[in-house]
Amino acid sequence: MPKIFVHFTFFFFILTALSGVWMRAFPFYPDFSASYTNILHAHSHLAILGWAFLGVFIVFLSIYWKTIKRKNEAIALTCTIFVISFFMFLAFIYQGYAVYSIVLSTLHIFAEYWAASFIYRHIKANKSVPKSASLFIKGALIALIISSIGPYALAFISANGLKESYLFDMAIYFYLHFQYNGWLSLFLIGLFIILLYSKKVKIHAPLLNKGFWIYFIALFPGYFLSVLWADLGASAEILAVIGSIGQWIGVVCVLLAFKRTWKQIRKAYSTLTVTCIWIALVLLFGKSTMELGLITPSMAQLIYETRSVIIGYLHFTLLGFVSIFILAQYQMVSILPANQRTRNGFIIFFIGFILNELFLFSQALTEWFTFTSIPFYTQGLLAASLLLLIGLIMLWISFKFRKLGIRQAFRRMP
């Protein structure tokens, strides 16, 4: 697989981190001419549609590159996603939600359909794909297609002058729910199963399959968990409870299936890789458990009204579980070497992640208990975002010079 593809993903991840630093620096430089909202939209879209989408797709290509017959299509698809995502990022910074950004976002949806078709065709033709992995990947592709209903609904809602109504936010949450709870979570688990099978790690398939079906079925009523603030009535509340409990049970089944093979996983991979896998799976459990808290109406209302909790949860999911699981799988497919440079980069990145979550959730607690704001809150978030950026730069350098020693690497740096 062309190395430039991996550079694409790190470029997007670092752009996402840079825009995060930019936003965290706003309180210190109030005279910035740029729009904070525009940067926020650019940051969030690139995180999901640039870094995360391309990141999981590159893991897929890395696994199957030798057996992919239509390599030219894979190259064209990857380059198309990169170009659309990059110009979409620039469009959002330039004008926010407007003509250019909407057109490019729409083009990205069609690129997603193309990617889904490409992945499905390869999975269907490749008889060596484990059945459990095939189940998760096909479920992920269904969720990816369904998620596109959200952007289409946004266009319809805006065209009918309902942009200020609750329907607009409901469409956004629909898209996000099926992206990170559906497409990204299921696809990453499917890829993980494939990688374990490639190392002859035996997994309890019946438990995995049971976990998939419980989770996948619960995914649909689980959407209502994100929109309980809209006060849709008792039926929506019941569906939200069914969805959240079902998704949690599904995750527990999947984790128990992996737990049975943990000794084999530790033998198959380096300590650093195993640590990254363990952290990602713990974060998956944490994410699912946190969602159970929304079952209580009073708690749900409190959470929906606290911006730092919502931001903290999104970072916990995308920056934590999704990103760390991608980085773990980068090591599993030998994109990232399990060496000292990768270790140091990941440690700095992880410290930045933990600090970011601590400050965001601590701020929420001070608001709930009517305390004054925690000291150095804005400075702490800025420091956390800088650590994330530094860690990612080190990981990118680790990939670029993965076959060189430290002295050789620095000699080759410009």
For residue 185, what are the domain limits? 131-147+154-316
Residues 95 and 135 in one domain: no
Within-domain flag for 329 = no
Q: What is the DSSP string of 240-299?
A: HHHHHHHHHHHHHHHHHHHHTTHHHHHHHS-HHHHHHHHHHHHHHHHHHHHHHGGGSHHH
Within-domain flag for 192 = yes
Q: Which residue, among 354, 366, 380, 359, has the nearest Cα to 24 in the 3D structure?
A: 380
Q: Give the contacts of 412 (CB within 8 A, at least 6 positions apart).
A: 401, 404
Residues 374 and 299 in one domain: no
Residues 135 and 188 in one domain: yes
Residues 160 and 244 in one domain: yes
pLDDT at 372: 65
Residues 296 and 375 in one domain: no
Residues 181 and 261 in one domain: yes
Residues 114 and 170 in one domain: no
Q: Are 222 and 177 a contacting pair, CB within 8 Å?
A: yes
Phi, psi (rounded to 5 degrees) for 126: -90, 105
Residue 88 burial (10 A CB sphere; 0-12, 13-18, 19+)? buried
Within-domain flag for 331 = no
CA–CA distance, 183 with 191 (Å, rounded to integer): 12
Helix residue ranges per DSSP H, 47-130: 53-64, 71-95, 99-125
pLDDT at 167: 86
| Alpha-carbon 78 to chain mean position | 18
Q: Are 240 and 295 a contacting pair, CB within 8 Å?
A: yes
Residues 22 and 56 in one domain: yes
Q: Which residue, among 155, 13, 173, has the nearest Cα to 85 in the 3D structure?
A: 13
CA–CA distance, 115 with 13 (Å, rounded to integer): 20
pLDDT at 409: 39
Residue 413 burial (10 A CB sphere; 0-12, 13-18, 19+)? exposed
Q: Domain ends where: 74, 93, 128?
A: 128
- The DSSP element (H or E) to which 352 belongs, if any, is helix 340-368
Residue 377 burial (10 A CB sphere; 0-12, 13-18, 19+)? middle
Each of the 414 residues of the chain gets a pLDDT tens digit; together they read 889 999 999 999 999 999 999 999 888 876 676 788 889 999 999 999 999 999 999 999 999 998 888 899 999 999 999 999 999 999 999 888 778 888 899 999 999 999 999 999 999 988 888 999 999 999 999 999 999 998 888 878 877 777 777 888 888 889 999 999 999 999 999 999 999 999 999 888 899 999 999 999 999 999 998 888 777 888 888 999 999 999 999 999 999 999 989 999 999 999 999 999 999 999 999 999 988 877 776 677 777 777 788 898 999 999 999 999 999 999 999 999 988 999 999 999 999 999 999 999 888 888 777 766 777 888 999 999 999 999 999 999 999 876 654 344 334 434
One-letter identity of residue 380: G
Within-domain flag for 55 = yes
Residues 116 and 141 in one domain: no
Number of domains in the chain: 3
Within-domain flag for 159 = yes
CA–CA distance, 18 with 385 (Å, rounded to integer): 8
Residues 85 and 164 in one domain: no
pTM of the model: 0.92
pLDDT at 233: 83
Residues 232 and 367 in one domain: no
Within-domain flag for 323 = no
Rg value, the chain, Cα: 21
Within-domain flag for 325 = no
Within-domain flag for 237 = yes
pLDDT at 408: 45
Residues 406 and 309 in one domain: no
